[in-house]
Amino acid sequence: MLRPDTDVKYVKGVGPKIALILSRLNIRTVEDLLFHIPIRYIDRTNIKNVRDIKIGEQITLIGTILDTNFRRSGRGKSISEFLFSDGTGNIKLIFFNQPYLKKILKRGVHLIIFGTIDFYRGYQIVQPEFEIAEKNNDIRENFGGIIPVYPLTEGLSQKRVRRILNNAILLTDLSSYEILDKKILDACSVGSLKDAIIKIHKPADLHEAEEAKNTIAFYEFLFIQTYLEKRKVGLKEEKGIVIPRSPEIENFLNSLPFSLTKAQKRVIDEIINDMQTGGVMARLLQGDVGSGKTIVALTIALNVINSGHQTAIMAPTEILANQHFNKIKNYLKSTNVKIELLTGSTKTAKKKKIKEGLSSGKIDIVLGTHALIEGDVKFNSLALAIIDEQHRFGVEQRSKLLKKGKNAHLLVMTATPIPRSLAMTLYGDLDISIIDEMPPGRKEIVTRWIKNEKRFELYDFIKRRIIEKGDQVYAIYPLIEESDKLDLKSATMMYEEIKNYFKGIEVGLIHGKITPSEKENIMKRFANGEIKILVGTTVIEVGIDVPNATIMIIEHPERFGLSQLHQLRGRIGRGTKKSFCILISDRFVSDIAVKRLEIMEKTRDGFRIAEEDLKLRGPGNIYGTRQHGLPPFKVANIVKDTEILKKARECAKKIIDYDRDLKYNRLLDRFDSIEKYYRIG
């Protein structure tokens, strides 16, 4: 008996040569083969007799070639004609410009054909799909009414794939696909994976094929969801540091110049409650750009400090860490909380002092970059690790920070709204809090998509705004990794062009190649209003806060992801003035690009934008998910199968509820291949 992990070359009908061909389809084991899913089916119950055909019908016929005729049309096109019979009648098959068919489709060859009936001096099918059959009825031997049609590669025929799949199914011990306990099968109302695998290759009818496909998708989701649910429950059962709600929190919130939104209050409650259950918190805080995550994070940090513990906040870049530091220090004016900033450019003596302060417990909050996870940074009692823009950190880095404490609570924050289905898969092991409301009084951002021809009209408008209203401007150019140099040149060219056009107005340029201190300096001069126009690549993307900057030009917006455009746009509309975001594209952009740019014009809702982006471009392209690594699915589709995903998620909860250690449900050996996508420490 074969096993799912057996090398595919041992399947009857494969051998080394075919194994090599199969490897081009990423089929290496029997399991890979079993998961080689049909792209469609021929419905044999719909195989017609030539006698009964009607014009316009899409049908399958099985028969023999009676005669052939090869010629050229007046214009030199090659035409191949075949007279085809199934014993009940004759029909002509016509192919254009496929002269090699002469060698394959000889008189007497048996064929299965699929196509649309046409009539021109008799019934005919133009360019039918066809398969050669050894004898008239050979596909009826191994398959029922429905014949699968598989993705192929050169050197591999449908017939061969069908035969080896048939062998694989007959000769493999499929019992390892009987994964779920009877109770769970019933509770989740789902069939066994084993049945689904057999049925997707040998369905009794098209409905059964469809169901088998859904069942396999369900199991693909289920493996991941159960893994995540088990981890989530595991964290809750670990002994966490209990942080009660401190009455000081109210005093602090009252000291702020604004009152929190309902959403901010709600998520603060969620988080504080979670930190007093006795378990370890692992939570994702989602909130659109500008929704006020910083104050939420700080409130939580204060609560931790009031219990006598420390908090670390890690940001992906020095600029961001700096900005957070200044913002937070400002919020903390009325308190005696001790906060420090630790980054790569902190002076050695200062670094040493901060490290001492952290290990003695004198420092309450430390803000920083990757410098926080260096080996010699030790905490007296780190109870909370907060990670901002978490998708910019690797798995290892997050885990290193957490390990600086003992069962420290984890709060990761993201300003890239993640559609629900994606969040369930990427962060299913985390609890999720969402700030779904903006602070009041946000200024309007007018977004317009214009074509290149209008550039100089736009420049004139901007010039007036700068001179008359003192506005400041971001001009953003996409940076594409593969062609760093080219983009650098483009950004530089744009800088020259703008400098020329805006004579007498200070223009700055930043890009990935300038040193951090130069960058810092330019940013400072932009923040204090000295520089009016800042030209840059996307390095200025995240977190920068210059309320007087009210205009953003984005070049080649079609090259950015929607969520990324949304992030960029979040840099403006922060002050008291109306803001403008202008997307300048080439004259010709694809239909999809047009749709995407129109969405940008219409909405400022980051979640809607992310949903649309997911639909238009698929999960692999959404900003952040590629780095994060979404597990690959063979059948399941995270965009289309959201109902199946929900069902799998609910089922995973039932499984962990009833079979915590997975003794009765054989899911553990599925986890190895999943684990690498999720390790966060």
Residues of this chain that bind ligand ADP (CB under 6 A): 258, 260-261, 264, 287, 289-295, 415, 439
Residues 6+ apart with CB under 8 A from 553: 458, 462, 473, 474, 475, 476, 582, 584
Least distance (Å) from ligand ADP to the CB of residue 295? 5
Q: Which helix (H) or strand (E) holds 440?
A: none
Q: Strands of 579-585's sheet, edge to edge?
A: 445-451, 579-585, 549-555, 472-476, 533-536, 507-510
> Rounded to an integer, what distance in angstroms lies between the CA atom of residue 231 and that of residue 227?
6
Least distance (Å) from ligand ADP to the CB of residue 599? 21
Alpha helices in 484-621 (DSSP H): 484-501, 516-527, 562-569, 591-602, 606-617
Q: Which is nearer to ligand ADP, 88 or 259 (CB)?
A: 259
Least distance (Å) from ligand ADP to the CB of residue 300? 13
Q: Do 186 and 657 touch, CB atoms closer than 8 A?
A: no
User: Is the four-CA dihedral 592, 595, 600, 601 of positive or negative sign?
Assistant: positive
Least distance (Å) from ligand ADP to the CB of residue 287? 5
Least distance (Å) from ligand ADP to the CB of residue 365? 15
Q: Which residue minimizes CB distance to ligand ADP? A: 292
Q: Which is nearer to ligand ADP, 500 or 576 (CB)?
A: 576
Q: Which is nearer to ligand ADP, 209 or 296 (CB)?
A: 296
Least distance (Å) from ligand ADP to the CB of residue 543? 7
Q: Which is nearer to ligand ADP, 261 or 421 (CB)?
A: 261
> Rounded to an integer, what distance in angstroms lies between the CA atom of residue 612 and that of residue 477?
23
Q: Do 343 and 368 touch, CB atoms closer than 8 A?
A: yes
Least distance (Å) from ligand ADP to the CB of residue 677? 27
Q: How far, CA to CA in Å, does 195 sit from each of 3, 462, 663?
A: 16, 65, 22
Q: Do 164 and 12 touch, CB atoms closer than 8 A?
A: yes
Residues 6+ apart with CB under 8 A from 301: 311, 313, 364, 365, 384, 386
Q: Which is nearer to ligand ADP, 328 or 656 (CB)?
A: 328
Q: How many alpha carbons fall within 13 Å on the CB side of residue 554? A: 31
Q: Which is nearer to ligand ADP, 259 or 621 (CB)?
A: 259
Q: Which is nearer to ligand ADP, 237 or 250 (CB)?
A: 250
Q: Which is nearer to ligand ADP, 289 or 377 (CB)?
A: 289
Which of 534, 486, 484 has its CA nearest to residue 513? 484
- Tally of CB atoms within 10 A around 455: 16
Least distance (Å) from ligand ADP to the CB of residue 388? 8
